[in-house]
Structures are given as C-alpha cells and as structure tokens.
Structure 1
Amino acid sequence: MKLQFLVLLVLLAATLAGCATNPATGESNFVMMSEQQELDLGRRASQDIGKEYPRYADEKLQAYVQQVGERVARYSHRDNLKYQFTVIDSADINAFALPGGYIYIHRGLLAYLNSEAELAAVLGHEVGHVTARHGVQQQSQSMAWGMLGQAVAIGTGVGAAGDLTNVLGTAMVRGYGRDMELQADSLGAQYLARSGYDPQAMVEVVKVLKSQEDFARDQATRRGQAVPTSGYHGVFDTHPDNDRRLQQAVGPARALAGAGGQQTNREVFLQHLQGLPFGDSEATGVRRGQSFYHAGLGFTLSAPQGWSMDNRPEALIAVSADRQALIAMQLDRAKDTPEAFLQARLGGQRLAQAEPLQQAGLQGYTGVIPGRPAKRVAVIFKDSKAFLFVAAVKGGASLEGVDDQFLQTIKSFHPLTADERKLAQPMRLQLVRAKAGQSFAELAKDSPLSRDAEANLRLLNHQYPSGQPSPGDWLKVVH
C-alpha cells in the first residue's frame, strides 16, 4: 500500500503541474513545461540536428521553402513563434518538427511532391505538430514515466525498476501515432485553406506517401524480402481517397477555402526542382551500382556483387544480400602511423593476422580481432584523414566465410581518377514536356536509374502504379 500511495502522489503531482490548454485545439493536455522551456528545448535540439544532418546548399531553394512555410504558419494558432524551415540534404522521404517551430524537410521528399500546395501541406502538417504541442506532450509523458520509475525504485529498493519503467514509458510514447498525425493533418489543412492553398493538397501528399509504401511492398514481394515497415506519415491502412478518418480531418477545411482560395502553383514549384539532386548528392557521396564515389574526399570503393550500401551521415555501410554480414567505414583524423592508429583505437585488444596495406600510393593497416564473432578491422590514411573499416558477421557465423569479401571491399579503396570524378556527380531532376503518345516506358529507356526506372518515374509524377503522362504535362525525369 505504501508503494501504491507513493506512485499515486507522484502521478497526482505530475498531473496537477502538467495540465495546460492546447493552443490549437482548446483541449486540456498533459504537459510539464512552459512555452519558454519548449522554445529552449527546440533550440537545443535544432543545434544537434544541425550537426547530424547537413543543410542543403541551395539558398534560393531554402528561401523559397522558408517563404512557403511562413505563409502557412502566419495563419496558424501560434503565429507568434519564429518558425525556421530547413531543407536537409538527404535522399530520405521524410519531414519532421521540433518543439518551438523548427521544421525540417528532406530533399528526397521534395523530389516526389508536385506543387507548391503539396509543399505547403507538408509544412502545414509539421506546423500542426508544433501548434498542438505534440512534441511537448510526448516529452512530458516521458518525463512522467521517469518520475514514476523513480518512485517505484524508492518504494521497492530496486534501482532497476526505474530503468524498466523508463523503457515502458518510451515504448508507450514512441512516435506520434494515428490520432496526433490526423490532428496535424486537420490543422495543416486549415492553415492551407486560410493561407489560400487548396486543402485537397493534404490528401494528395498522403497519396504520394501511400504510393511509396505500395512501391516498397511490391518490390519486397517480388524479391522475396520482408515487407518494410511504414515510413513517414505511414498511418493509413487504406487508400487516402477511401480513408474515412482522413477525409473527416481534411473535409472541414475545404469549407474554409472560398472563391480564389484554391492555389496549387504547380509550375512555380516544379521550376524550383530543376537540377535538384535525385538520390545521393555530391556533398554526401554518390552510389552507382556497387561503387561509391566521394568528390569532396576524393576516393572511391566498391562493395561485393549483390551487397547493398547505406550512406549515412556517420558511416558508409555495406550489407550482404542475406543481411548476415556488414562492413562500415567511418572518417577520423589521421595521426601517427596506420598501425599505431589502429592499435590505439583497439585499446589494447590483440590483433591477429595483422599486416600493412599498400594500395594506390596509400598506406594502411588491417587485422582481425579474435572472438565470437571475430571482426575484421582496417584503416587507410589519405591526406590528413583516416578511413576506418569495421566488418562483422551476425550471431555465431564464421568470419572466414566472408572475410575475402571484406578484404575485397577494403582493398578497392583508392583515390578518384579523372574519369571517376565524373561519376561522383549526382543524378539530377530535369523538367520536360510530355509529347503525344509518350509513355513512361519510353522515358525510362534513357534514364540513368539502375533499376525500376519506369516505376520510379511514375512515383515522381504521381502516376504509380500504371498511369501515363498526358500531352503537354510537365514531367520530372532523371539525368
């Protein structure tokens, strides 16, 4: 009973301290921070985001996105905030908001949108998360679960209870969930209508994202792979046109759009996409087939046939087709000799099968860290940088079975040649007018997309899975 009373006191104190009126909905929500604390939280988080995600280096596009975002935010329930809209140089199809008005959209999502109204819908949706304080509510729930965990630990004398409750709380509040996403859609549609855009664009954006899910599922099924989980905004089980709750969320906003309040600005938006990198960018490195090229760092390497590469801000990772082996490359500052560098990073661990590497005029060192599983490690010095490789297999699999492929990848590393520098340039979007009788199959013949070019062109132009262009339409193609 004492423990139950203690937990009740904690929850009661948190509830009394944390009830606040939601500025967007008028509802009473559980929050545990003031608006100033929210702004401080967002500012600190934005600094971390800036370190992790590179800003896309096109200030004209950045200014355009800021302008569209400010237009929508001006009609929001928290127009007093100073909103910052940033395009991230990433091929991911995503957008997100931090508390206090810091909103980010990935370059990859921009490529699949087809009008300024759709861009405004994405930004409006994220503004809706900010105005409804969804991030603050999520943070407050997490804080409350942390307090509860401390109370359980005090009441039982078992410190691990606090950790367990934190884990449960984190799992419970992970992601915004369908209700908050629908609320953000509803608020975003209102802001669209009030700012003069067509609120139907909110549904069109969800169609774009739903098509991405359908495409990923179709590809996985054809290749016999596991169906990927839903990505950004993946909360709709049916087609958006048939999703009753989505229609209920967006429908009332249509009544707000009076005569003249139905702008889409399709051509203006598409012109801003001219030349936009599609997929990887020069600044982050470009994947072409089994090879990776980085113009800024001046190197290339190749993964074994059938392996896939994941280009992340913190590492380049190659994964085998059966997902049982991977090799990751990270960047560090070169110091001492390659052997001394590697030994220092190992912190005294014994290195077996150690040997120097000499390739294309570069110096390096490699070896195997014994254990279960064993790991292949290597470092190659180039200029003043150290390229560190760590390769491993899952579970109890043997390193020997794939070690030749690990070494093949490591030893493929070399400085870019003049011809390879051309390959380090990204694919880019270009606009063309559709000709009479022209099909996506015809357009795909000249596409540099390595696979599924026709399906990708349909996705880019709102025509997946079987649509065709109409004569005179502006189309996005990849060159």
Structure 2
Amino acid sequence: MIVRCALLLVVLWQLVGCAVNPATGRTDFVMMSERQEIELGQRYSQEILKQYPRYPDEKLQTYVQQVGERVARYGHRSQLQYRFTVIDSPDINAFALPGGHIYIHRGLMAYLGSEAELAAVLGHEVGHVTARHSVRQQSQSTAWNILGQAVAVGTGVGVAGDLTNVLGGAFVSGYGRDMELEADGLGAQYLARSGYDPQAMIEVVKVLKAQEDFARDQAQAKGQEVPPSGYHGLFDTHPDNDTRLRQVVAAASPLASGQGEVGRDVYLRQIEGMPFGDSAAAGVRRGQRFYHGGLDFTLAFPPGWELINRADAVIVHAPDQQAFVVMSLEPLAQQATAQEYLARRAGRQQLVQQDSFRQAGLEVATGVVPGSAAKRVAVIMREKQAFLFVAAVKGHGSLESQDAQFLEVIRSFRPLQAQERELTEPRRLRLVQLKPGQGLEALSGQMSVEGDPLTRLRLLNGLYPGGQPRPKAWLKMVR
C-alpha cells in the first residue's frame, strides 16, 4: 500500500509544471501549456455565448475591441489574440477567460464615464490574462484533486479525498485580494503605457463603490438583506481610498507619456442610444409586468415580488426569496395536448390536483407534484411552443402557503395587446446638457426609470449620493 501511494505521488510530481510568469517574472505552479490555455478559453467562450447573448451593435463592439486592443498591445502577452465582447445584459460585470477572451456587460458600460474608465476595466481583465490567474487557479485545483485521490487510494479512506478536495476548493476559490490587486497594478501599467490616465482605475472603483452603496441603501429601505456584490471580484475587494490600490496606480503614473487621455465625450457618444436595463430581445420589465415582443406575451408578478430575466428562463421570486416561479420556453417536437405534454414531462412523478382550461385563447394544464418538496407545475401551449412553469417553496415551507400566488402568475400569462407593443421597447441612454440654472431635481423629472429618478440620475452620472454636476455638463439620462 505504501508503494502504491508513493507511485501515485510520483505521477502527481510528473504532472506538476513550473513556468516563469510573463507578467510578474516569478515562477508559477501550472499544469497547462499556453496552447492548452488558448484551447480552453475557446471552449469556454462557446459556452458563454450560449448563456449570454452578444450585444447586437457592431459599431459599439468594434469600438470596445479597439480600446481593448490598444491596452493589450502594451501587456506582457501581446502575442495573444484578444477578443473583447460586449454582452447584452444589464448586469454590472466584466470577466476574462483563459487565453484572451474578455467580456464586459453593457450594464456596466452604462455607468462608466469615459473611454479611460472603459480601458481601466478591460486593462484589469487583461492583467488577469497576462498573469495567468485562471490557469494558476485551475492548476492548483487539479493538483489538490489528484493529491486527494492519491491519499484516498493509498490509505483506503475515501473521506481523505473528499477532505482534500474541500481544502483545495477553499484555497483557490475566487481570485482573492492578492490576484485582484496584481491585476489592478498590471492594468494601471497597461493603461499608462497606452496613453490613458491611470487614475481612471480609481474612478472605476468609485463607480462600483457607488453601486454597492446604492444596493445597500435600497435593501435597507425595503427591510431586506444587503445583496452580495454583483461583480466577480474586480475592484470591489478594496474601497476607493485603499492605500495599496493608490500605490499601484501612482507607480504606473510615471509610465504615462504626458497628460493621460480621458476621452469622456467620445465615450458618451458611443453609448448614447444603448438600452438601459432590459433589452427588447430579452424582454422588458414595466412595474409588476413583463413584456416580450419577440415571443408575443406578457405576464404579471405579485406586488413586492421581483423578476430575474435570464437567457434561458424568467424567474419571479418573493421578497424573502423563499418562493419562486420559473418559466421556460420549449419547442414542441410533436403534437400533444397540454395535459399529455405535462404528463410526459412529469415522467414517473405522480401529478395530483390536475386541472385544464383555456386562457386568453390558449390551452393550459396544471397540477401538483406531491412530496416533501411539492411543486406546482403548468404548461401553456401555443402553436409549436410550450411555456413551462415550475413553482416551489424553499426549505420547509408548504406549497399551500404560496400556491395562490403561483397560480396568479400562471393565470396572468397572455398574448400582447396592440397598445402594449410600445411597452416592449427598452428605455435608452440619452445625453442632455445641463442648462444654466437648471438643477438635478428638475432634470430628473425627464427620467423614465423605476424607483426614485433623482437617485438613479445621480448614480448614472457618478454623483451618488449627493454630488453636483459642473455647469453645462453633459449628463446621461434614461428615456
């Protein structure tokens, strides 16, 4: 047994690789060649496009690609073929895949205020790629898993393998503060060398800090828990007055040749007209209703409930997130009644409390899957499409406690009416120049947003919670 364990550890040692990090000059533990890294990124990129649609504005896509290439040209791995993509999502996020695939959500772009800030976000992500952070994480995780298997086989105790995997997962979970700060420093260098103002790093941190403050204030006003940061870790691991962050930005500043470029006007012109919040392709929320022009339907959700609009499903949930309804769309491969379809989907699971009826001219079937975690299920048939609903209560809550709300959501589904077509169009960003003597309070009356328009106007323009704009400043509006 000792010999077998020793042999497995020898195999582990042979799998271990060390390489000089091109960005830091340090020797890193890696188990992947650059070619394998690129191939891995290509595979992941195909999965990303299945989950996150590409924003259908090629002019903006070209602009972001040009800004990203300008920054990446001065990176430590300029030989990589970088691909910068805008994702058609209102989320505040950006991320990088191995090998140079970098993504930014249009939701984040709406809150940035200059080309330099865009370059700062992209530069940070380039920093993750050049320092091979994802490769180092995967290599460490793989090594822990292999070591866990070696210990499990060598000792005959399977728990040892499980324990080692847990330790390895904890060790590599998230990029961590050091890697994020390292990406900040590298991004600031690339920013300065490419002619942008490296202080834009600090400005992006302020944008993200304002988002966190806004989310906290909104949650507290509703008596809810403060939601976690939507960002994957970029910048939000440190506040804008973080000494170490300011040090890495200051260290990069001498690399800039002359006054660093900011590019506020050109950036604002590029994003003018961009959807704010939901897009027409994904469907639009208006108050407590959801409208989808392409799929020709609308549905409502109860007061206080919230809606999550994903590429593969629409999810509505109660304020405490313990009750939820998931609606997905499935093509009909063969003709079937609503009851037949629901029975086929239920498979061996028994359906009780079954009912069928017509709703807005559409055939509907519903029932309950009993058990300790009972579910309300329903299907609405329309031509060659099946709109499938699954509703449940988390934990030990009973289905009966929320079933009336579930049925309310299901029964609200119907085709669009002619006068509702305009509600399927998204709100868009518009530029407005502040007139002499005009205050934000008066200007906010022109905003078309959910909630407090003045608060959203401040947040959109880097003035949250109580900042004031410069005279005659161009401001982003939502209309």
**Shared fold per TM-score greater than 0.5:** yes
Structure 1 residues 429-450: Cα deviation after superposition (integer angstroms, max 9, x where no partner): 0000011232322222232212
Partner of 1:450: 450
- Evaluate the alpha carbon distance shift between residue 99 and residue 423 of structure 1 in structure 2; reply closer, same or farther with a 3 A threshold: same
Partner of 1:135: 134
Answering whether residue 83 of structure 2 is matched by residue 78 of structure 1, we say no
Partner of 2:53: 54
After superposing the two structures, state which structure 1 stretch, 333-342 or 57-66, moved more: 333-342
C-alpha separation between the residues in 2 aligned to 1:149 and 1:112?
Answer: 45
After superposing the two structures, state which structure 1 stretch, 442-451 or 176-185, moved more: 442-451
C-alpha separation between the residues in 2 aligned to 1:35 and 1:237?
Answer: 28
C-alpha separation between the residues in 1 aligned to 2:457 and 2:11?
Answer: 53
Structure 1 residues 365-406: Cα deviation after superposition (integer angstroms, max 9, x where no partner): 101111113110000112311110000112222212211111
- Evaluate the alpha carbon distance shift between residue 26 and residue 218 of structure 1 in structure 2; reply closer, same or farther with a 3 A threshold: same
- Evaluate the alpha carbon distance shift between residue 395 and residue 239 of structure 1 in structure 2; reply closer, same or farther with a 3 A threshold: closer
Partner of 2:428, secondary structure, is strand
In the TM superposition, 1:304-343 aligns within 5 A as 304-334=302-332, 335=334, 336-343=336-343
C-alpha contact 2:461 2:476 (8 A) present in aligned 1 = yes
Partner of 1:215: 214
Where does the alignment leave 5 or more consecutive residues of structure 2 unmatched? none
Partner of 2:342, secondary structure, is helix
In the TM superposition, 1:424-435 aligns within 5 A as 424-435=424-435
Partner of 2:174: 175
Partner of 1:116: 115
- Evaluate the alpha carbon distance shift between residue 337 and residue 249 of structure 1 in structure 2; reply closer, same or farther with a 3 A threshold: same
Answering whether residue 412 of structure 2 is matched by residue 417 of structure 1, we say no
In the TM superposition, 1:57-456 aligns within 5 A as 57-232=56-231, 233=233, 239-240=239-240, 242-260=241-259, 262-334=260-332, 335=334, 336-456=336-456
Partner of 1:415, secondary structure, is coil
Structure 1 residues 272-300: Cα deviation after superposition (integer angstroms, max 9, x where no partner): 11111011100111111111111111100
Matched AA of 1:278: F
Identity of aligned residues (%): 63
C-alpha separation between the residues in 1 aligned to 2:90 and 2:412?
Answer: 25
Partner of 2:325, secondary structure, is strand
C-alpha separation between the residues in 2 aligned to 1:473 and 1:360?
Answer: 50
Q: How well do the aligned residues superpose, as a CA RMSD in angstroms?
A: 1.9
Partner of 2:24: 25
Matched AA of 2:445: K
C-alpha separation between the residues in 2 aligned to 1:282 and 1:418?
Answer: 16
C-alpha contact 2:91 2:230 (8 A) present in aligned 1 = no
Q: TM-score normalized by structure 1?
A: 0.95
C-alpha contact 1:10 1:151 (8 A) present in aligned 2 = no
Partner of 1:463: 463
Partner of 1:387, secondary structure, is strand
C-alpha contact 2:5 2:153 (8 A) present in aligned 1 = no
C-alpha separation between the residues in 1 aligned to 2:89 and 2:212?
Answer: 19
Matched AA of 1:212: Q
C-alpha separation between the residues in 2 aligned to 1:103 and 1:130?
Answer: 9
C-alpha separation between the residues in 2 aligned to 1:339 and 1:259?
Answer: 71
* Cα deviation, residue 160, structure 1: 4.7
Structure 1 residues 315-351: Cα deviation after superposition (integer angstroms, max 9, x where no partner): 1111112322111101111242211111111112111
Structure 1 residues 214-254: Cα deviation after superposition (integer angstroms, max 9, x where no partner): 111122222221122233236657641x2111011211110
* Cα deviation, residue 312, structure 1: 1.4
Partner of 2:463, secondary structure, is coil
- Evaluate the alpha carbon distance shift between residue 10 and residue 294 of structure 1 in structure 2; reply closer, same or farther with a 3 A threshold: farther
C-alpha separation between the residues in 2 aligned to 1:22 and 1:476?
Answer: 41
* Cα deviation, residue 11, structure 1: 9.2
Partner of 2:349, secondary structure, is coil
Where does the alignment leave 5 or more consecutive residues of structure 1 unmatched? none
Q: TM-score normalized by structure 2?
A: 0.95
C-alpha contact 2:30 2:139 (8 A) present in aligned 1 = yes
Number of equivalences: 476
- Evaluate the alpha carbon distance shift between residue 7 and residue 415 of structure 1 in structure 2; reply closer, same or farther with a 3 A threshold: farther
Matched AA of 2:450: S
Partner of 2:148, secondary structure, is helix
